[in-house]
Amino acid sequence: MASGIITALILGYAGYAFYKSVKKKSQGKCGSCSSGDSCNSAKTCD
């Protein structure tokens, strides 16, 4: 039971992280923009 819940949570988070990252990346934003931080090399986040 516990294994099933933990597996579901991990897969759910992975799916969410994947969706969020791909969405931001397809907008031309690098990783730090995705996290809402400043960009690692220049100002690019809207």
Partner 1 sequence: MNKTALLGYPNIGKTTLFNSLTNSYEYVGNWSGVTVEKKVGNLHNNSGKLIDLPGMYDLAPLSKDEEVVMNFFLNEKFNSVLNIIDANHLSTNLHLTIQALEFGKPVIVGLNMVDVAKRNGFTINDSLLSKRLGVTSVPTIARTGEGCSELLNEIACAGESQAFELDYGVEIESLISQITKIIGVKSGHNKRWLSIQFLLNNNMVISYLEGLGIKNELKAALGNKSFNGEIVKKREEYINSLIEEVVTFSEEGKVEWPAKVDALVTHRIFGLPIFLFIMYLVFQATFTWIGAPLSDIVDGFIGGTFTELTEKVLSAIGASTLLHDLVVNGIIAGVGGVLVFVPQIFILFLFISFLEDSGYMSRIAVVMDRFMDVFGLNGKSFIPMIISFGCNVPGIMAARSIEQKKDRLITILTAPFMSCSARLPVYVLFAGAFFSSNQGTIVFSLYVLGIVLALIVTKILSLTILKDEKSIFIVELPQYNLPHAKTLFRSTWEKGKNFIHKAGTIIFAGSIGIWLISYFGMSGANVEMNDSFLAAIGGFFAPIFSPLGFGTWQATAALITGFLAKEVVVSSMAIIYAVSDDTLGAEMIKIFTPASAYAFMVFILLYIPCLATVAVIYRETKSKMWTIISMAYPLVVAYVIAFIINKVGQFFF
Tell the smallest beta-carbon distance from residue 6 to partner 1 (Å): 6
Q: Do 32 and 44 touch, CB atoms closer than 8 A? A: no
Tell the smallest beta-carbon distance from residue 18 to partner 1 (Å): 4
Q: Do 40 and 33 touch, CB atoms closer than 8 A? A: no
* Contact residues for partner 1, defined by CB under 8 A: 2-4, 6-7, 10-11, 13-15, 17-18, 20-22, 24-32, 34-35, 37-44, 46
Which residues are CB-neighbours of 46 under 8 A, at least 6 positions away? 29
Tell the smallest beta-carbon distance from residue 26 to partner 1 (Å): 5
